[in-house]
A and B are shown apart, each in its own frame.
Chain A
Amino acid sequence: MKTASKIYTGLVMLFLFAPIAILLVFSFNDSKSLSVFSEFSLHWYRELFRDSETLGAVRNTLVLAVCAALLSTAMGTAAAVGIHKLKSRYMRAVMDTVTNIPMINPDIITGISLMLMFVFVGRLFGAATSLNFATMLIAHITFCLPYVILQVLPKLQQMDKALPEAAMDLGCTPMRAFLKVEVPEIMPGIVTGLIMAFTLSLDDFVISYFTSGNGFQTLPIRIYNMTKKTVTPKMYALATIIFFVILFLLLLSNLTDADTVQAVRTAREKKKAKNKA
């Protein structure tokens, strides 16, 4: 039984990580081949850093993801606070449903409908082109928003309602009570929402595909467009770099998480010890 479960775990790991491992190995291949590993070299990494179009696409993708994540987090947090304060249960159900629509809608429908709307509005204003960075940003905020709300709302519900009330009793203005008491309480939700929005925006293809305009192309679209000829191993090099950067960030965030959890625990234990004494 135990060996079976070990084999099962091993297989799962294999299927999860074998593709990444192959990509990693062949990014160091000297030739273009995907079947023969001829010689170890950093050739494709050098090529990657010489390719200004691809680096431009990477920059575009990052700028878009950072902007979309920050804006959607700010808007989503505000929306979550608003929904939480709603008194009528009926209204709350309506708001929940409405915010969830972009999340359950298939990407392709969101993409096409956003594109149609941008074109329609653009025509209304008589502009020759209606798709650009701003439209892509709006599209990305649209699909990130529900995820942020979904992360922040439960934290608000978990929070003790008496906390901000107590702060206001002690002389805080409502704004100050919100910033000093509520925000720190729901911070983990906000941070998770931010990270989720960032990653969602980073690897979105379908919606970006429909809403991208003349001058602004993101990395997923650029890679997709290489399929007339074969995708060059430069892209394996790029994927490897992105993989390690994300791995590093993940480790960092997990480590800091573990640190805070540990810190909270020791503080609690100290308190207990004090109380006993």
Chain B
Amino acid sequence: MKKTLSVLLCAVMLLSLCVLSGCGSSKTLTLNVYNWGEYISDGSEGSLDTIKAFEEWYAATYGQKLKVNYTTYASNEDMYAKLASGAVSYDVIIPSDYMIARLAKENMLLPLDFSNIPNYQYIDESFRGLSYDPQDLYTVPYTYGVVGVIYNANVVDEADAGGWELMWNEKYKGEIVQFNNSRDAFATAMYKLGIDVNTTDRAEWERALAELKTQAPLVKSYVMDEIYNMMESGEAAIGAYYAGDYFTMLDAQADGVDLRFYYPERTNYFVDAMCIPSCCQHKELAEIFINYMLSEEPAIANAEYIYYASPNSLVYENEEYREELGEEAVAILYPDIEDFSKLYNSYAYQNLDPETLGFVNTLWESLKIT
């Protein structure tokens, strides 16, 4: 009795092991998409549910059922860790520029077959040949954004606004918030001083550190996500962040707070782009998905939901979309698009070599300690 029971239990265990390792994988078509959280139009507030629309469109066009397994991550590093563990298989991922450069270098991306992505023609010429993918082999841009300075006009004198100097202005001691990560914080100082943010010259980084040290007594706190609440409530009056996020703050600003936004002369640009990782199992399907995301309706829905700028001409040339945003928002979200690749390649962050990165981090720690 006891023996048969234990034999039975062993059999159950082994069977579950078999199921776990994927012996019984099913035959239905699935596409695994891995994206940032809150980074696609999901049907809220009457918007288009992009994933559902794609499934329906696919069934109607190809006569076959398709299920999109849509999961999310919180940071590029989280995404990288999951991908590198080798335990998962994704078909489409949407990382940021510097992470794309790293993935490409480590052979973790597949070159795209652009004959399956005809809608790529709508991506503006100025988004080709960007430094993270100079030959345009691996990526289709999804969103982009520019860092600018946000300030509360009820506290800050209009005359003082205009450059990075505002974040160093002693008049506003205790009203300024600075980025709480080394790369972004150093960049504000480097753009102010006109230093190349991708330099490997240690003396230049030390100069930026000295600049940050003079700023330190004026800084209220070093923040990331907390900036939303601090700016919205009027707790802080000056901070740098992405243009798209400025509108999120504007939506929720308290009474007596009047948030404004401007671009300093030199600043950072980011691009998040769709790529196919090397663990992909349905490459053609993934390319069909990417192509669909570039078509008019889903692209506009996503741009309206995310509130970041879209590199897709079907979106930014669409009259209804521009009207929906309003003139002021269009002007802020879409500055100087003609020169994008030139600006991007000269000012945006590139992947630093590990030695420089380590050095920057020690400098950063020395700032945080004092």
What is A's interface to B at a CB cutoff of 8 Å?
31-36, 47, 50-53, 115, 118-119, 121-125, 127-132, 134-135, 138, 212-215, 217, 222, 224-230, 232, 234
Contacts and interface: CB of A to CB of B under 8 A. Distances in A.
A229 B37 contact: yes
Contact of A213 (B72, B88, B233): B88
Contacts of B352: none
A131 B44 contact: no
Contact of A118 (B20, B69, B74): B20
Contacts, number: 133
B304 to A, nearest CB: 14
Given A33-B254, A128-B22, A234-B44, A214 B17 contact: no
A217 B71 contact: yes
B5 to A, nearest CB: 10
29 contacts: A31-B252, A35-B233, A35-B252, A36-B233, A36-B255, A51-B42, A119-B86, A123-B86, A127-B23, A127-B25, A128-B89, A128-B281, A129-B89, A131-B87, A134-B19, A213-B88, A214-B32, A214-B69, A214-B71, A215-B32, A222-B72, A224-B37, A225-B72, A226-B37, A228-B74, A229-B38, A230-B228, A230-B248, A234-B44
A26 to B, nearest CB: 11
Contacts of A34: 229, 232-233, 252
Interface in B48-100: 49, 51-52, 69-75, 78, 85-90
B279 A215 contact: no
A53 B70 contact: yes
Given A53-B42, A122-B87, 6 more contacts: A32-B251, A33-B232, A121-B20, A128-B281, A215-B71, A229-B37
A232 B25 CA distance: 36
A134 B281 CA distance: 21
A27 to B, nearest CB: 15
A125 B228 CA distance: 48
B21 A227 contact: no
Q: Interface range on chain B: under 10, 10 to 19, 20 to 34, or 35 or more?
A: 35 or more
Nearest to A35: B233
Contacts of B73: 225
A29 to B, nearest CB: 10
Contacts of B17: 121
Nearest to B272: A228
Contacts of B36: 225, 228
Contacts of A119: 85-87
Given A119-B85, A234-B44, A52 B52 contact: yes
B30 A50 contact: no
A134 B16 contact: yes
B87 A115 contact: yes
Given A32-B251, A228-B38, A50 B44 contact: yes
A225 B74 contact: yes
Contact of B20 (A53, A123, A130, A224): A130
Given A129-B22, A138-B20, A51 B88 contact: no
Contacts of B75: 228
A201 to B, nearest CB: 18
B278 to A, nearest CB: 11
Contacts of A129: 22, 87-89
Contacts of A131: 87-88
Contacts of A50: 43-44
Interface of B: 16-23, 25, 30, 32, 34, 36-39, 42-45, 49, 51-52, 69-75, 78, 85-90, 225, 228-229, 232-233, 245, 248, 251-255, 279, 281, 306
A215 B306 CA distance: 23
Contacts of B252: 31-36
A129 B228 CA distance: 38
- Which of A32, A222, A225, A226 has the most chain B CB atoms inside 10 A of its CB? A225
B45 A47 contact: yes
Nearest to B52: A52
Nearest to A223: B37
Given A31-B251, A127-B22, A227 B279 contact: no
A128 B23 CA distance: 11
B20 A135 contact: yes
A212 B78 CA distance: 13
A229 B248 contact: yes
A119 B334 CA distance: 44
Nearest to A130: B87
B245 A214 contact: no
Contact of A35 (B70, B225, B232): B232
Contact of B42 (A52, A118, A212, A230): A52
A35 B229 contact: yes
Contacts of B255: 36
Contacts of B70: 53
A224 B87 contact: no
B41 to A, nearest CB: 11
Contacts of B44: 47, 50-51, 234
Contacts of B253: 33
A134 B20 contact: yes
- Nearest first, the 10 closest Cβ-Cβ pairs linking A and B are A225-B37, A125-B21, A215-B69, A127-B22, A35-B233, A33-B252, A225-B72, A226-B37, A119-B87, A32-B252
